[in-house]
């Protein structure tokens, strides 16, 4: 009987770890990010909006995934955007939730570490509506086959009917401001410190996306890449300047594309 009760407890605990945790569970310990959640529309032509999401207990860690590289990545990127373009941009990033109505005022979203994300049915429906109504989402910093499966399983909740494809070289995104090179893997700094550019089994860089019915790229997927680290460490002599420059060029093209399509 004791063994049976013990087994039932283990099964119950295992099942609980597969369930999504409430968003507020993470928000309370997001290292100050909660102070920057916005309920106001953008105050400039372009605002860097970071998507806040929940995660499952099976992916639980003390670091809140959506806050990775916060806020240095957007601070440095916005400085670069101001130098490299004439886009009128807000001076600081802000975080938004899919369930906040203000999200539709922000046409460009960034989501990081999405190999650990989870979407509720309501959030998936809002994400679908947001993108089909003209929004743009860039996802970044996830690596290898396991994290791809986690990311893709959640994405399918929003888009079970649309394929993920490689962004073709003739897409307007590839030359809208800078000519982009898809062969170079933009790594995280920890991988570089280990003498490699990949993490887990994510050896090959992929630039993928989902398109709407008019052929507009609405979801840009940087897989086996870490542009956020390249921005965050833009002033770090230990991070290669060519990688940072390429990460800036990709992101600037994403911004210009999203604002003109």
Instruction: Provide the pLDDT for residue 57.
Output: 53
pTM of the model: 0.85
Instruction: Provide the pLDDT for residue 59.
Output: 52
- For residue 97, the cross-strand partners are 52
Instruction: Provide the pLDDT for residue 134.
Output: 97
Domain locations in the chain as residue ranges: 39-260
User: Rounded to an integer, what distance in angstroms lies between the CA atom of residue 230 and that of residue 246?
Assistant: 9
Instruction: Provide the pLDDT for residue 35.
Output: 53
Instruction: Provide the pLDDT for residue 16.
Output: 33
Instruction: Provide the pLDDT for residue 17.
Output: 32
Specify the fold of 39-260.
Answer: Rossmann fold (3.40.50)
Residue 208 burial by CB count (10 A; 0-12/13-18/19+): exposed, middle or buried? middle
Say which DSSP state 49 is in. E
User: Rounded to an integer, what distance in angstroms lies between the CA atom of residue 145 and that of residue 202?
Assistant: 7
Q: What is the pLDDT along the chain (261 residues), one digit of tens a residue?
A: 443 333 333 333 333 333 444 344 343 333 444 456 777 888 888 999 999 998 765 555 556 899 998 889 999 999 999 888 988 887 788 999 999 989 999 999 999 999 999 999 999 999 999 999 999 999 999 999 999 999 999 999 999 999 999 999 999 999 999 999 999 999 999 999 999 999 999 999 999 999 999 999 999 999 999 999 999 999 999 999 999 999 999 999 999 999 999
Instruction: Provide the pLDDT for residue 204.
Output: 97
Residue matched to tokens 């994405």: 155
Query: Which tokens belong to 228?
Result: 């956020």
């Amino acid at each position: 009987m004791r063994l049976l009760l013990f087994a039932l407890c283990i099964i119950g605990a295992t099942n609980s770890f597969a369930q999504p945790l409430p968003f507020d569970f993470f928000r309370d310990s997001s290292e100050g990010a909660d102070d920057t959640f916005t309920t106001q529309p953008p105050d400039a032509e372009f605002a860097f909006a970071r998507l806040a999401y929940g995660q499952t207990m099976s992916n639980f860690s003390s670091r809140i995934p959506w806050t990775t590289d916060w806020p240095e990545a957007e601070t440095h990127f916005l400085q670069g955007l101001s130098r490299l373009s004439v886009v009128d941009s807000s001076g600081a990033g802000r975080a938004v939730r899919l369930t906040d109505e203000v999200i539709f005022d922000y046409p460009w979203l960034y989501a990081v570490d999405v190999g650990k994300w989870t979407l509720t049915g309501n959030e998936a429906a809002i994400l679908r509506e947001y993108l089909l109504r003209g929004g743009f989402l860039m996802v970044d910093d996830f690596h290898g086959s396991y994290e791809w499966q986690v990311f893709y399983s959640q994405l399918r909740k929003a888009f079970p009917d649309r394929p993920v494809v490689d962004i073709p070289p003739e897409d307007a995104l590839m030359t809208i401001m800078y000519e982009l090179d898809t062969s170079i893997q933009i790594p995280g700094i920890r991988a570089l410190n280990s003498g490699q550019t990949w993490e887990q089994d994510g050896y090959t860089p992929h630039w993928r996306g989902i398109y709407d019915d008019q052929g507009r790229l609405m979801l840009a997927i940087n897989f086996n890449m870490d542009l956020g680290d390249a921005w965050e460490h833009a002033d770090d002599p230990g991070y290669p300047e060519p990688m940072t420059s390429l990460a800036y060029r990709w992101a600037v093209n994403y911004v210009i594309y999203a604002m003109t399509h």
